[in-house]
Amino acid sequence: MDTYYNPEDLSKFSSISEGAPDLWKKFSEWYGAVFAEGALTEREKSLIALAVAHAVQCPYCIDAYTQACFEKGSNREQMTEAVHVASAIKGGAALIHGVQMRNAAEKIGM
Amino acid sequence: MDVHKDNAAAAEAANPFEASLAGSRLFPLMSSCISTLQVNMGRVCNQSCRHCHVEAGPGRTEVISRLTLDACLRILKDRRYPIVDITGGAPEMSPHYRWFVQECRRVKCHVKTRTNLTILLEEGYKDLPGFFAANRVEVIASLPYYLENETDRQRGQGVFEASIEALKALNARGYGMEDGLALNLVYNPCGAFLPPSQRSITEDFRRELMKRHGIRFTNLFTITNMPIGRFLKFLKDSGNLNRYMDRLKTSYNPAAAANVMCRQTLSVGWDGSLFDCDFNQMLGLKCDHGAPDHISGFKGPELESRRIVTGVHCYGCTAGAGSSCTGAVAD
């Protein structure tokens, strides 16, 4: 193995069922139900998944949900905006902790 | 003994697509009738699109002869096939195009023409919207996306803008608005992925084309890119071939397979050869299994219930909601 992440591993996802087939079955059923059309469309769910994939920085998910977004009818502009939403939340989440820094500085400073 | 199981095993060895058919009790795949005679006028085109399975372009010289078109007209008249679907290349560039459309109408056929739209702006072709309307021709126009970037990425710089202008010219003739003047658009993916649901992308096209350009159309057809011709080269060059083929195979849908267009269509090549579809035509896979493979030997009853020639490319028509020259074939 040259790298920890190998694109070909994406298609081997189901091999994780070995050792715990019942848990994999439950996960698969739940996962399928999550992404089925409901109060949100499949397209909206794929865009959310793409954004979350960037937030958790999962290259497998980015690969899979880039394709899924196209196949649900999203375009590059929409997908890029979704990534910006994830980035804004990630950036905002870091920045809001600056208040903690200021509180700590206030406490120990003179 | 399960005959279908035995058939599946035998077919698997020779052709994985036929194994999939056998698994859904469709092997061997047979035509049910001929309702559409699809006529390929040749490979000459004013565009050279990156996805084109025909590999058409301005440098191609293959053009259908008047002799072959005469034979098509005799068949349409004798067998009373209701629909003729004229394709290419840019079919309008054939010197016999207008004559053939008028003759098809004379034998009471419903005429569909494929158009890349930009040809309608070229000198010598600008009057075609009026010609289409006068002959009540159904227009099936390529427009891969409602945004300029995505369209030009696939079809070439400036194609989107020209396509919009051509669509406006068709709308001005009543296309997309009046009964009997159907303007159908063709979406195909701008890359190595399957088309979205026809219903949802139609809503997007209708909303965006109206909002951005004031354009109306009748229906939108989603068509899967076939792994042949220039699109196959793109798949190989970009390292996407295996993944795309896996995607097609794992998305095999028996309901789509049952409704594939070749079961009601016969495709005539520019040189008079007969094929089960335009894709087989580009692969040189002529009608076989005892059916005539050239228009000079045309036999209606044999061709109307012929066995279809298949290959792995056929997964392109059976993936997901399926794909045909008139869009998705399954829910």
Residue B328 maps to a domain? no
Residue B142 maps to a domain? yes
Q: What is the mean pLDDT of residues B241-263?
A: 96
> Would you say B48 and B279 are in contact if contact means Cβ atoms under 8 Å apart?
no
pLDDT in tens, B60-89: 989 999 999 999 999 999 999 999 999 989
Reference B244, options A11, A49, A105, A24; nearest CA is A11
Residue B330 maps to a domain? no
Cα B154 to chain center, whole Å?
A: 17
What CATH number labels A19-108?
1.20.1290.10
171-210 of B, contacting A, C-beta below 8 A:
189, 191, 193-197, 200-201, 204
| pTM for this prediction | 0.88
- Do the interacting molecules here have an ipTM over 0.90? no
Shortest distance, CA A73 to any CA of chain B (angstroms): 5
**Domain ranges (residues) in chain A:** 19-108
Residue B294 maps to a domain? yes
Residue B300 maps to a domain? yes
Place of tokens 């061997």: B28
Shortest distance, CA B196 to any CA of chain A (angstroms): 5
In chain B, the number of structural domains is 1
The answer on pLDDT for B142 being more than 60 is yes
Reference B319, options B225, B235, B240; nearest CA is B225
Residue B324 maps to a domain? no
Q: Which residues contact A77 (CB under 8 A, 6 or more apart)?
A: B147
Determine the Cα–Cα distance for residues A73 and A42; give it in Å rounded to an integer: 10
> Would you say B231 and B50 are in contact if contact means Cβ atoms under 8 Å apart?
yes
Domain span including residue B203: 31-318
Report CB contact under 8 Å: A72, B189. no
> Would you say B198 and B328 are in contact if contact means Cβ atoms under 8 Å apart?
yes
Size of interface A-B (CB pairs under 8 A): 28
**HSE-CB of B23 using CA atoms within 13 angstroms:** 13
Determine the Cα–Cα distance for residues B275 and B269; give it in Å rounded to an integer: 7
Residue B68 maps to a domain? yes
Residue B149 maps to a domain? yes
pLDDT in tens, B25-70: 999 999 999 999 999 999 999 888 877 888 888 889 899 999 999 9
Q: What is the mean pLDDT of residues B300-317?
A: 96
pLDDT in tens, B172-196: 999 999 999 999 999 999 999 999 9
Burial class (CB in 10 A: 0-12, 13-18, 19+), B78: exposed
One-letter amino acid at B16 equals: P
Determine the Cα–Cα distance for residues B195 and B235; give it in Å rounded to an integer: 16
Give yes or no for A14 touching B (CB within 8 A): no
Instruction: Label residue A1 by pLDDT band (50, 70, 90).
Output: low
Place of tokens 């996960």: A27
